[in-house]
Amino acid sequence: MEYIIIIISAVFVNNILLSQFLGVCPFLGVSNKVSTAAGMSGAVIFVIAVSTLVTYLLQYYVLIPLGIEFMQTIAFILVIAALVQMVEIILKKISPSLYQALGIFLPLITTNCAVLGVALIVVTKEFTFGGEAHMLNLAEAMVYAIASAVGFGVAMVIFAGLREHLDLVNVPKVFKGAPIALITAGILALAFMGFAGLV
Amino acid sequence: MNFLKDISKGIIKENPTFVLILGMCPTLGTTTSALNGMGMGLATMVVLTLSNIAISLVSGQIPGKVRIPSYIVIIAAFVTVVQFVMQAYAPGLYSTLGLFIPLIVVNCIVLGRAEAFASKNGVLDSAIDGIGIGLGFTASLTVLGFVRELLGSGSVFGIKLLEGDGMLVFVLAPGAFIALGYLMVLFNKLKSRIL
């Protein structure tokens, strides 16, 4: 039951993109087509899952025992950058087809704030899922991370669908491009606010 | 005169928010009030200036293949310093900005300037570029925070200006997107008239 609450809350109620503003750059940058948006989302889900696992273990088994939590930001970003590189190399070897699909998005992911953001949230924020406030354990952290990434994907794909239609619409010149995309995103965020109070 | 030109370039012609559309996460996430937006902008400006200076000094020594990870480590070091300074001297602002302070590391503006400007130019030029782009970022965040605070709660910098409670939606997430969208329209309109 608790995991279901975590999933619903991370995917819909506190959507990482539309209510926490993490990963807005790729949201605006690569959301012109549904297929590209889906590819990017797949790569993000994959990288967030792996990097959260590694940074969580790093935090609790290396940084805290050594008393060097202040190295958190540097250590996490290094781990993420290295991981993205590694994932790229491994994917190329073991699954060329998946690499073909995700390949071009992987280098972009290092500077996607959603990845570092989720890694930092799971080790610094207290959650109140299922009663009193507590830090997440590893299983909860993984469920939260993957659900957040899925939430990113859901918002990305919906938004890309909207933008495909937006391209065909006659928009005033000053609204073309980013402004109309932002206003559309705002209306989408309004729709997602309807989920508030669900959990 | 040249200095002035370099600094003003970041504010209008190459404004990171309205023209280059970079660093959207902190722009949308921290501008619930004018003060928060300004705090975030200044924190980014400090990191940007310091990292520009450091990178322009060492870029000759870094092999090309590992330059991006090296830049990220340099930026992360300065972010950690800023994080501690804010925690000590502005704890209130630090806790409202929260997650977005460590996330300066992955702000595309900082890495973008390191790669596009600081690695190819001298120390003084890089410092001025950092200050200029940082000021542009601070100005846009402050303006967006100003608009959202005014519409959302009827006050500016915490001083009550309008009667009533305002439209709460502008302080919440959807208002950020909509306000920024309309500000961009306004910016485009003014720019096309001036230039």
Amino acid B43: pLDDT? 92
Residues of A in contact with B97 (CB under 8 A): none
- Asked whether the beta carbons of residue A21 and residue B28 sit closer than 8 angstroms, the reply is yes
- Segment B31-60 shows an average pLDDT of 91
Mean pLDDT, to the nearest integer, of B158-186? 84
Looking at residue B80, its pLDDT comes to 92
Q: Per residue in B79-114, is it b (16+ CB within 10 Å) or e — as a string?
A: bbebbeebeeeeeebbebbebbbbbbbbbbbbbbbb
- pLDDT of residue A104 exceeding 70: no
CB proximity list for B115: less than 8 A, separation 6 or greater = B67, B68, B71
What would the pLDDT profile of A135-148 be if each residue is shown by its tens digit? 778 888 899 999 99
Range of A179's domain?
31-192
* Chain A contact set for B26 (CB, 8 A): 21
ipTM: 0.83
More confident position, A106 or B143 = B143
Which chain B positions have a beta carbon within 8 Å of A148's beta carbon? Answer: none
Q: Provide the β-strand partners of residue B159.
A: B156
Query: Which positions in chain B touch A180 (Cβ < 8 Å)?
Result: 181
Question: Mean pLDDT across the stretch A169-181?
Answer: 84
Whether A175 is covered by a domain: the verdict is yes
Segment of A100-114, A165-179, B46-60, B154-168 carrying the highest mean pLDDT? B46-60
Question: Residue A22 falls within a domain, yes or no?
Answer: no
What 3-state class would DSSP assign to A86?
helix
Per-residue pLDDT for B1 more than 60? no
Q: Is residue A7 part of a domain?
A: no
Model confidence pLDDT, tens digit, residues A3-56: 888 888 888 888 888 888 888 877 887 777 888 788 888 888 888 999 999 999
Position B54 scores a pLDDT of 93
Judged against a pLDDT cut of 80, whether residue A164 lies above it is answered with yes
Question: Does A76 map to a domain?
Answer: yes
Nearest to A17 by CA among A35, A41, A49: A41
Contact B177 A183 (CB under 8 A): yes
Q: Judge whether residue B14 has pLDDT over 80.
A: no
Q: Is B155 helix (H, G, I), strand (E, B) or coil?
A: strand
Q: What is the CA radius of gyration of chain B?
A: 17
Domain count within chain A: 1
Q: Is residue A38 included in any domain, yes or no?
A: yes
B interface residues, A as partner, C-beta within 8 Å: 21-26, 28-29, 68-69, 72-73, 76-77, 79-80, 83-84, 99, 102-103, 105-108, 111, 169, 172-178, 180-182, 184-185, 188-189, 192
Alpha helices in chain B (DSSP H): 2-11, 24-29, 34-58, 67-89, 91-97, 108-113, 123-153, 173-194
pTM for the whole structure: 0.86
- Average pLDDT score over residue span A62-88: 85
| Residue A157 CA: distances (Å) to CA of A28, A163, A186, B71, B161 | 12, 10, 15, 32, 41
CA A160-A161-A163 angle, 5° bins? 60
Closest by CA position to B28, among listed A43, A176, A27: A27
